[in-house]
Chain A
Amino acid sequence: MPKIIVDGQTLEVSQGENVLQACLNAGLDLPYFCWHPAMGSIGSCRQCALVQYQNEHDTHGRLIMGCMTAVTDGARFSMDTSNAVEFRKAVIESLMLNHPHDCPVCAEGGECHLQDMTVMVKHRDRRYTGKKNTHRNQYLGPLIHHEMNRCITCYRCERFYQNYAGGTDLGAQASRDRLYFGRQTDGVLESEFSGNLVEVCPTGVFTDKPFLADYSRKWDLQSAPSICGGCGVGCNIAPGERYGRLKRVHNRYNHEVNGYFICDRGRFGNAYVNSQKRLNYPGLQMPDGRFKAIDHQAALSRAAHWMKNKRVVGIGSPRASIESNYVLQTWLGAKQFCAGFSEREGALTCGIVEILQATRAINPSIKQMESADAVLVLGEDLTNSAPRVALALRQAVRNKSIAMAEQIGIPEWQDAAVRNLAQDALSPLIIVSSAATRLDDIASHVHTLAPNDIANFGDVLIEHLRGNISEDVDIINIADCLMTAKSPLIISGVSLLERGILDSAAGLAETLYDHNPHTMLSLCAPEANSIGAAMLSHTDNLSLAQITERASDIDVLVVLENDLTRRLDPTSMQQLIASGTTIIALDILENETLNHATLALPAASFAESQGTLINMEGRAQRFFPAFKPAHERQPSWQWLLHLAALDGHGELSKIIHFDEIVHACAQQHSPLARLTEVAPDHSFRRHGQKIPRQTPRYSGRTAMSADLSVHEPQQPKDLETPLAFSMEGVNQNQPAALKSFVWSPGWNSNQAIQKFQAETQKPSVGVSSGIRLLISSGKGIPHTSTDRTAFAQSNGWQLIPIQCLHGSEELSAYTDEIAELAGDPFVALTESCALELQVAAGDGVILSSNNVNLSLAVKIVARMAKNCIGFSAGYTQTLSLSAGSHVQLQRDPNWRPFKPLVIASDRRPNAQLRHNRHG
C-alpha cells in the first residue's frame, strides 16, 4: 500500500485513489463539492485544494486539487499551510457572492453541505459589495422543487442526471456566472431517479417538493433504519417522521444494494403512510355496508367468537413481512394457509427461488451487477420493474470505457477524462423484450419479441452456445458478446408472467457457467417480500384458486395485507365474495378487499412497525419503526399473535415479542435459520445504552403536544428494538443495520456518510446490513430443451403488461404525487399500430374481449412485439386485464383524459393555473 504524507502525518492509502479520497478516508476534513464518491472527479469547484511538495526540501510547493491528483507513494502534501487554507476560503467566498443566504427559508438548511463547508473553511465576512445574480425557477413536476439562486455551480446535478442516470432533460445551460441548471422549458422531470437530485445537490436548488409542503428540519426528524417496499430490490431507506407524519424518505447507504441512490418510487411513493385512506380503527361492517369503528378489544373478541371451532384459512402476502406471514401460517397450519400469490405469480416466484437455490452461476448483489461487462436482459423493463437494478446496469455498461481508460493509465475516478476517451463506447447490453424499455438508449442489441418467443430466443442462444451453431447473425453476435465477457450477467424476471423466460435465463446462465465461472444470474421478484413469501411457502399450502373454488367450505378467512382484487380475476373475486365467508382483513389502506371484509383491522405501515423482507437476491433485511403507530394501528404480526392466542394456539400464545417470532421462525424454517442475524435484537446496547432515533438537536420535545397538555409526555418506550424514541442513547459505531440517520460533528448533510465508511464507496462500519438467506446448493440446473410453440397468430391483439414506475405498484399509487405522475391507464401501441387504428397519443381506445370493455388512453411506444399491445399493469382500472389474453381495439371518440381533482404538487384544486404561475 502506498503511503502519502499530509502535514507530517503518514497515511496508508489505497493504490489508485485520489488525494481527496485518501484524506477523507483518514478522517481528515478536506472540503469538497464537485467530487462525489459514486461519480468521481471533474475538478470544477476547486474546493479540495492542498499544497503538494516535490520533496522534503521543497518549502514552497504547488497548489493542487486533491480530487484530481492520484496518490503516489511518498508524495507530500499540506492541507494546513496558509496558501491552501486561504485558497479554500477564497473559493467559498466566491461561491457565496451570488448565493442568497436564505438558509432560514431553505429546505436544505440544517443538512446543507454548503453550510458545512462554509463553516469548515471559516469564511465569515463578505467583501463583495455588488448585486447578486438572480435566476428564474422552473416547474419540474410534483416531486422536485427548483430554486436556482442557491446554485453554486458544482455540476453534480447534471452529472448525476445525465451521466449516471441517463436522463436527457436536465443539464447545464448558459455560461460564465450565468450558468443555469434546469430543463429547456418548464416540465415534469423525465428521469425515474430525479429524486436523487435532492441529495446530490450540495445546496438547496433541488429539494423534495412534498417535504417542502410539510416541512421539518433534519434535526427535528425522528428516523429509523428502514427498507423500501416499492419493489423486490429492497433499497435501504431512512424515513423521517415528525408530528406522527412521515415527512420524507432519504437514501440509506447500503454498499451491496442501493449505495447512494434510490428511485423516485422509493423516495416519494412511501407517503401513502400519511394517506387519508389509512385505517385508524378496527371496523365492523354494518348491514348497510358501512363500517363502524370499534376498539381493538371488541374487534378481537368478535373475531374469537367467529373462529371458535370453525375452519379458519389464512392468506398471506408477498408485501407483508416474514414475521407476519410466519405467524399466520404457524397459527393456522400450512394446510390452511395460502402464501397470497396469484396463480401465475406464485409459480414464477417459487420458480425463481428454485432456480437461485440450484444454479451454479453467481447470484449477484446489486453492486456486483455493476461489474458485469456484458449483460443480457430477458423480458424486463428493469427501470420500471426493478429500478435500482437498471441504474446499476447503467454503470455496468461503462466497464468498457473504464477498461479503455485503464489501458492508457487514466484512473476510473477521472470521470470526464474516461468519458471523453470512450465517447459512446459501451459494454454490450442485450435487451430482448416485448416492448420498448427505458434502457434501450444504452443497449447494443434490442430484440422485440412476444413473451414466449423471448423464451424461444433464449433457447436458441443456449443451443448455439452448446454447439448447435445458429446461422442467425444476431444470435452469433450476442453469443460472442457473452462468451468473450469476463463477467457476463443474465437478468430476467416475472413481469411478463412467462415461466419459459425464467427457464431460458437459467439455462443460459448454466451454459455460460460451463465456460466461465464468473457468470452471474439475477432474477427480479416483483414485490418487497416475494422471495420471503416463497421461501416460507410449503407444498401443503392452498392456492388462491383452491380457496375461491371452495370458499363456502371456509368459515373465516384471514387476509394479511393483501388486496385480492390484484391477485384474482374478477369472476373468482366475485365467487369469493358470494360465498358468504367471513373475511377478516388486516391492511394499511382502504382497498377493494377491505370493502368486502366483515372485520377490517388497521395494520401499521413499514414506518410504524418492524419486520424482515427478503429481496430479489435472497437478502433478508430488517426495517424498524420510525415512530409509534397512532390510533389503534398495530403491526400485523401483533394482530395475528392476538388472534392466534384467542384461538388457543399453544405455541404462539406464549410469544409476546417480535424477537421471539424471529427465533421461532429461524428454528422452524431451515432456509431462514440465519434470520436472527439480520439485525441485532432488542437487547443490543452500545455502552449500555439504546440507539437514538432522534438527533441530538431534536427540538420542541416539551412543546410539541402543548396544545393537548402542558405536561411533557413521557417518551414512548420501545421494548421491541434496540432503538429509542428519543435523542438519548449512543449513536456511535453501531452496525449499519441500526443506523437511524447520519451525522458527524461538522457534517450535517448526507455527506456525513463518509465518516461511517472505512473507505468511501466501501461498506459502512460494522456488518453491512442484510444477510443472504438464499444460498445456492450449486448443483446446477439440468437443461431441458422445452419445445415451445412459437407465438400463434390469433384473432386480436395479445396483451403485454407494461410496468410503470409510477402507477403499477399498489401502495405507492396512494401517494398523490405518484398518482398524478401515473396518469391515465393506457394502452401502449407503436406508431404504425396507432396509424392503423387511426389514433394518436392523447386519444382513447376501447379495449374489449369476452368479459371486459375498457376505455383507455393511447400511449405511443417505440417498439412492441408483433400483434401485441401493452397495457398499464397494476393500475386499479386495468386489474381485470390478463397478460397474454387477446383483445380487440377500437378508437373511442368519447374518450377524455382524466383530470385529477387535486394537483398534488400544488396541493390545491386543479384550476389549470399551471401555465401562468411562474410569471
Chain B
Amino acid sequence: MEKVLTRNIGTHTSPVDLKAYEANDGYRGLRKALTQLSPQDCQSMVKNSNLRGRGGAGFPTGIKWSFVPQGDARTPGHTYLVCNADEMEPGAFKDRLLMEYDPHQLIEGMLLSAYSIGADIAYIFIRGEYAVAIRRLRDAIAECYANGYLGKHILNSQFSLELHVHPSAGRYICGEETALINALEGKRANPRAKPPFPQVSGLWGRPTIVNNVETLCNIPHIIDRGPEWFNTLGVGEDSGTKLFGVSGRVNNPGCWELPMGTPIRDIIENHAGGMKSGFQLKGFLPGGGSTDFLVADHLDLAMDYNVIGAAGSRMGTGTLIILDDRTCPVGMVLNLIQFFAQESCGFCTPCRDGLPWTRHVLESLESGAGQPEDLETLAYQVKYIGAIGNTHCALAPGAMEPLQSAMKYFYDDFEQHITTAQCPYRLGRGA
C-alpha cells in the first residue's frame, strides 16, 4: 500500500524540515490551491473526497466546513481554524506521531483548510505533555514564517494566516471541541451547549472550525491529488487511509497507516504481531478508551465507521486497546472509569457525581465487597449517564461505553466478583 500520511515518517529518525518536506512534494498542494483553486473549489474537493473526521465522531469534514457562514453577514471579523491536538483519549497516540515526525504536513493541512473556510487565524491546541511535538511544531512554524508560508500574503497571494501553538493546561475535556474553545479563551474548560455550533459561534463568538490533527493532515493530499484518488485508497466503504494503533498484550504494539476498511484481524494479527504467548484475546476497544468492547467474533469486521457502528461500538480514534484473558475486565473498566471520573469537567450532574458513584461501585466489586444489587446499580447508571443527551457533552456517555459492553460480554466476570467476594483474576497474579 502507498503511504500517504506517513510517507515522510520512518525514513528519517528526526522530523523532516522544510527543505526535506518540500523536496518530497511538500507544499505542492498549497501552491496549487493558491494559484488554481478558489476556496469553494477546495471545499468541494474535500466534500467529494468523503473524508470523515479522525477525532472520534467521524463527521464528514467537507460538510462541517460548509456550515461556516460565507460572506459573513454579521459584523466583519475573524474566522478561526483550530487544530485539535489534545489527544488525551486513553490508548490514542496517533496524532503525536504525525506532529513529531512531520510537522509541515499538519501546517500545510491547516493552511489549506484555513484557505478553504476563509480563516485568517489558526491555533494548534496541543496536549501540554507533548513537549517534543510542541517544540518541533514551533520550529516548523518559524521556518514557515521565514519562508513566506505563514504571515501576510502567503506565497505572494492574497491569502494570509497567523498560526499559533497553544499547549493545553491539561484536562481530557479540553479535547471536546467547545471546551477547547473555552480553554483557548482562557475560560474554564466546560463544553458549550450546541446549538449554536462553533461553525457559527465559536472562538470569541466567531465562526470556527475545529478539526483533528489527522483529519487536517489528509487535506494536502486531497488537494494535491484529487478526491477521486483519495476515494480509491480505502478498501471498504470509507475513503482514505487511517493511522491504526494497537496497545495491550500483543507482540508488536504500535501505530500503522493502513487503508480505511482494513479488517481488525489483519491489524491485530499481522501488524501488531498477534497476542503474546500465553494470552488469549478476550475483547478489545476498537477506537480508544471511550468505545464499546467488541470480542473475537468481530475480528473479521472492517475498520469502517458504519461497520463498527453497526456492531455496537465506534471507530473512535482507530486506536485499539486489547483485553486479554488474564486481565480482569472489571478492573479494566474501573481503570477507565477512574480516568473519566477524574477528567469530568464537573459541569453537569450525571457525569460529575454519577461517574464517581460508578467508580465506587466498581471499586467495591474489585475489592470483593460487591453486593448483588450493585449490578443493578451499574445497569441503572449506564442508562442514566450513558445516553447521549442526558449529559451536557459526550464525555460521560463515552465513559459508559466500555462499562455497558463489558456487562454485556463479560457479565459472568462481574457476577463472580460478587459470588466469590474477590477478584477472580487476582489469583493468577504473581505467576
Contacts and interface: CB of A to CB of B under 8 A. Distances in A.
Interface in A72-108: 86-87, 90-91, 94-95, 97-98
Contacts of B204: 423
Central interface residue in A46, A49, A172, by most chain B CB within 10 Å = A46
A155 B346 CA distance: 10
A176 B171 CA distance: 11
B151 interface: no
B192 A91 contact: no
Nearest to B204: A423
Contacts of A416: 192-193
Contacts of A42: 193
B390 A414 contact: no
Contacts of A128: 357, 360
A598 B255 CA distance: 97
B346 A179 contact: yes
Nearest to A128: B357
Contacts of A49: 390
Given A86-B384, A128-B357, A416-B193, A404 B74 contact: yes
A876 B332 CA distance: 70
A860 B201 CA distance: 41
B188 A127 contact: no
Contacts of A175: 171, 188-189, 344-346
A94 B350 contact: yes
A423 B342 CA distance: 30
Contacts of B193: 42-43, 68, 414, 416-417
A408 B390 contact: no
A177 interface: yes
A408 B201 CA distance: 9
A47 B201 CA distance: 26
A407 interface: yes
B327 interface: no
Contact of B390 (A45, A46, A176, A420): A46
A423 B202 CA distance: 11
B309 interface: no
A182 to B, nearest CB: 15
Highest count of chain A CB atoms <10 Å: which of B196, B344, B377, B387: B196
A421 interface: yes
A44 B348 contact: yes
Nearest to A407: B74
A69 B363 CA distance: 37
B360 A129 contact: yes
A752 interface: no
Contacts of A701: none
B58 to A, nearest CB: 21
B389 to A, nearest CB: 5
Interface size class of B (residues with CB under 8 A): 35 or more
Interface residues of A, number: 45
Contact of B347 (A44, A86, A91, A129): A44
A153 interface: yes
Contacts of B345: 175-176
Interface string B345-363: 1111110111011001000
Contacts, number: 114
A130 interface: yes
B74 A43 contact: no
B165 interface: no
B312 interface: no
Contacts of B392: 43-44, 46
A410 B196 CA distance: 7
A302 interface: no
B191 to A, nearest CB: 10
Contact of A90 (B343, B348, B350): B350
A422 interface: yes
B184 to A, nearest CB: 12
A414 B189 CA distance: 18
A410 B200 CA distance: 11
B188 A172 contact: yes
B372 interface: no
Interface string B176-189: 00000010000011
A417 B171 contact: no
A177 B205 contact: no
A129 B352 contact: no
A63 interface: yes
A94 B354 contact: yes
Contacts of B349: 44-47, 91, 94-95, 152-153
Nearest to A94: B353
Contacts of B352: 94, 153, 176-177, 179
A788 interface: no
A97 B356 contact: yes
Contact of B348 (A43, A87, A127, A420): A43
A383 B234 CA distance: 65
B140 interface: no
Nearest to B357: A128
B66 interface: no
Contacts of B341: 176-177
Nearest to B171: A175
A178 B395 CA distance: 17
Contact of A408 (B74, B182, B354, B364): B74
A127 B381 CA distance: 12
B205 A422 contact: yes
A64 interface: yes
Contacts of B279: none
A515 interface: no
Contacts of B229: none
Given A44-B348, A408-B74, 19 more contacts: A62-B389, A63-B387, A63-B390, A90-B350, A90-B384, A94-B357, A95-B353, A130-B360, A152-B349, A172-B188, A175-B344, A176-B341, A176-B352, A179-B346, A404-B205, A408-B200, A414-B193, A417-B195, A422-B205
19 contacts: A46-B348, A46-B349, A97-B356, A97-B357, A129-B360, A130-B357, A153-B353, A155-B347, A176-B356, A408-B74, A408-B196, A410-B201, A417-B196, A417-B201, A420-B182, A420-B192, A420-B201, A421-B196, A423-B204
Q: Which 4 A-B pairs rank lowest in CB-CB distance, beginning with the nearest? A: A94-B353, A130-B360, A90-B384, A421-B205
Interface of B: 74, 171, 182, 188-189, 192-193, 195-196, 200-201, 204-205, 341-350, 352-354, 356-357, 360, 364, 373, 377, 380, 384, 387, 389-392
